[in-house]
Amino acid sequence: MQSTVTPTHCPYCALQCGMNLTPAPDGTVEVSERTDFPVNRGALCGKGRTAAAVLAPGVRLTSPLVRDEGGALVPASWDEALDRIAAGLGRTRAEHGPDAVGVFGGGGLTNEKAYTLGKFARVVLGTSQIDYNGRFCMSSAAAAGIKAFGLDRGLPFPLEDIPKSGCVILVGSNLAETMPPSLRFFTELKENGGTLIVIDPRRTKTAEQADLHLAPRPGTDLALALGLLHLVIAEGRVDEEYVRERTAGWEDARAAAMAHWPEYVERITGVSVPQLRETVRLFCEPESAMVLTARGPEQQSKGTDTVGAWINLCLATGRAGRPLSGYGCLTGQGNGQGGREHGQKADQLPGYRKLDDPAARAHVAGVWGVDPDSLPGPGRSAYELLDALGTDIRSLLLMASNPVVSAPRAAHIEERIRSLDFLAVCDVVLSETAVLADVVLPVTQWAEETGTTTNLEGRVLLRRRAISPPEGIRSDLEVLHELAARLGVEKGFPTDPEEVFEELRRASAGGAADYSGITYRRLAEENGVFWPCPAEAEVETPGEDAGARPGGEAPAVHPGTPRLFLDRFATPDGRARFVPVSHRATAEEPDEEYPVLLTTGRVVAQYQSGAQTRRVAELNSAAPGPFVELHPRLAARLGAAEGDPVAVVSRRGRAVAPARITNAIRPDTVFMPFHWPGEGRANTLTNPALDPTSRMPEFKACAVRLETVER
């Protein structure tokens, strides 16, 4: 085992905080501060500090597992396990066609693995049926960003710009619990005289830091944004010169906003007219301001329009494409950004190219050495893919995801997974989904492999291998290499991550997410490189190698692009697009039978489906299980006391968890965290109604009723 200190990055959220890893003589790994990384400056949350605990042999998978004739998962050799997977996928393809085989990935995969998984699905399996759990993360913001700006990147500026802005509106994000090290940027914002406005139906730990907290009814963020824009117009705060010179489509968006007058918006949202006016004043008076959205407004059946309305507010006030101003999305998953940029998403090819674009298909097919016509077209989105399991899709290869806990309408999705002819799972732990598999492969973890990720700023980072994996563990790249060979494709699936990245560079070249100017060497020497970063800068500088180019000039190294849109937007004419939107109700409004709204989210000590964090004693001690957060008035009507078991019932199922009674939530709303399986599984309840553009499910609002439970 190595004994040196290895600088690397946390495996959890999209901050990708810098940390140092040091192997200890007893076989454990010590996590310590790494102060040189600008995103966290040494700070780590509890998940980051304990991340190495999941590396322990007693916690993680250490051998392939196959299902025996008695139905039990038993240890097997790698050859047997890989042979079974190849046979299962191959048999389905031969009997039912390539689209009967599905592939489901994860936002925790490195860029190299996400790229290779997409290539494997399309080149080896020939299936269009591939998507990933990042669809559940920020797809609505991505869709809205592309409509408005022509390009989607979580933040179009680095986090370090936030404290220098005049005002930040944070919509539907509880950073104090989901990304704790980032809260310092907002604390510094206030110390510098800036204003923080938090919009959330709960008075979260983040909302407690705000200068102004608005608590709208879940599912009404769209009306709220439109009401603010109405006031901007009515009060003469539109930046007319900016709108004229840098945007298009204003008149239609203006007309839509004017239909949402303040008193009407107050009735819909529950946010008072004085609060609406104060928000507009605080946002418009400084020279610079930002709007940052997260899952709250995005995980709705109208999430794309909702984010679009917040973008319209930024455009109308000249708060986009200017220093210290703009719209950004706080993506959640560790590599949710890079995971979709390079081919894991149903409709995209590497470099953020569209799968239905003939030029994009030709470029990527050329890199892959295949006929463009052999590439399948766009497939189903994540929930639609999962919903088709056992019917149109008969076999599934799943990597780094746990949909039995994380998918909406989770009990139904569990049934669909159980109905598959064949399921293979690659994971580091035996998740609730892996338990249902025919074959489970144990794969390397973040500290045991080198690879790149892309954080929420669009900063491409190098995660370095710090320790060797236990004997018998293989990487996802090795798995895909072996499966490709067994399915008849001997070349094109290297196991060395740097070799894969070199191919990814070529495949992304010229695309929206151009990584061609990024190398492992640069990433090792720099604190990340922001995409787009083409292989050559437009301006050439004299180089030492006189033979590099005619005239003795070497290509200039592109510095990367920390700040997007300062000169022009990524649209054909360089102008941002207003998209007219109007308020509409959630897909499932409360009624007599289901009179309360449920919203879901995370807690600081657990992460996503909890598959890894629920195996860490320190984190379980801090957050041992699910709960139902409800207002004292609602608890009194129900007759529930603190800690009493409460049943939350929706049209899709029933979940039971202890009551947590607090004034920090609206009386018409209950909250549940979604990290746990079993009877407290929040996603048993959630509504899979999909946004028509992004195909994002409506996790954030569904109608429920509450019942007391006898124990």
pLDDT of 495 reads 98
Can you give the length of the chain in residues?
711
Residues 109 and 170 in one domain: no
Q: Is 222 exposed, middle or buried (0-12, 13-18, 19+ CB in 10 A)?
A: buried
Residues 296 and 328 in one domain: yes
What mean pLDDT do residues 260-285 have?
98
What's 485's domain CATH number? 3.40.50.740
Residues 215 and 320 in one domain: yes
Of 358-367, 411-420, 549-558, the poorest mean pLDDT is in: 549-558
- Whether residue 279 lies inside any domain: the answer is yes
Residues 409 and 484 in one domain: yes
Examine residue 323 and say whether the peptide bond preceding it is cis (omega within 30 degrees of 0): no
Residues 277 and 318 in one domain: yes
Q: Please enumerate in sequence order all residues whose Cβ is within 8 A of that of 452, keeping only pairs 6 or more positions apart, or say none.
A: 110, 111, 112, 338, 460, 461, 462, 463, 497, 501, 520, 523
- Whether residue 470 lies inside any domain: the answer is yes
The Cα-based distances of 571 to 73, 254, 306 in angstroms read 52, 21, 21
Tell me: the pLDDT tens digits for 16-38?
999 999 999 888 899 999 999 99
Tell me: the pLDDT tens digits for 566-596?
999 999 999 999 999 999 999 999 999 999 9
Average pLDDT, the chain: 95
Domain termination site, one of 453, 474, 508 = 508
Residue whose pair of structure tokens reads 């699936």 in the numeric block: 493
Domain termination site, one of 468, 493, 508 = 508
Tell me: the pLDDT tens digits for 492-515?
999 999 999 999 999 999 999 999
Residues 464 and 373 in one domain: yes
What's 631's domain CATH number? 2.40.40.20
What's 211's domain CATH number? 3.40.228.10
CA distance linking residue 445 with residue 640, whole number of Å: 43
- Whether residue 270 lies inside any domain: the answer is yes
- Say if residue 543's pLDDT is above 50: no
What's 40's domain CATH number? 2.20.25.90
Sorting pLDDT into bands at 50, 70 and 90, what band is 681?
very high
Using an 8 Å Cβ cutoff, are 432 and 611 in contact? Answer: yes
Residues 46 and 109 in one domain: no
Residues 295 and 404 in one domain: no
Range of the domain at 179: 139-332
Residues 439 and 361 in one domain: yes
pLDDT of 542 reads 35
Number of domains in the chain: 4
Residues 206 and 312 in one domain: yes
- Whether residue 27 lies inside any domain: the answer is yes
pLDDT of 2 reads 45
- Whether residue 462 lies inside any domain: the answer is yes
pLDDT of 3 reads 64
Sorting pLDDT into bands at 50, 70 and 90, what band is 553?
low
CB crowding 413-447: b at 16 or more within 10 Å, else e: bbebbeebbbbbbbbbbbbbbbebbbbbbbbbbbb
pLDDT of 57 reads 87
Percent of the chain with pLDDT over 70: 97
pLDDT of 330 reads 94
pLDDT of 494 reads 98
Output DSSP code: residue 52.
G
- Whether residue 518 lies inside any domain: the answer is no
Domain termination site, one of 299, 332, 365 = 332
CA distance linking residue 379 with residue 356, whole number of Å: 11
Residues 45 and 191 in one domain: no
Q: Which amino acid is it at 531?
A: W
- Say if residue 63's pLDDT is above 50: yes
- Whether residue 591 lies inside any domain: the answer is no
Tell me: the pLDDT tens digits for 407-466?
999 999 999 999 999 999 999 999 999 999 999 999 999 999 999 999 999 999 999 999
- Whether residue 585 lies inside any domain: the answer is no
Residues 301 and 385 in one domain: no
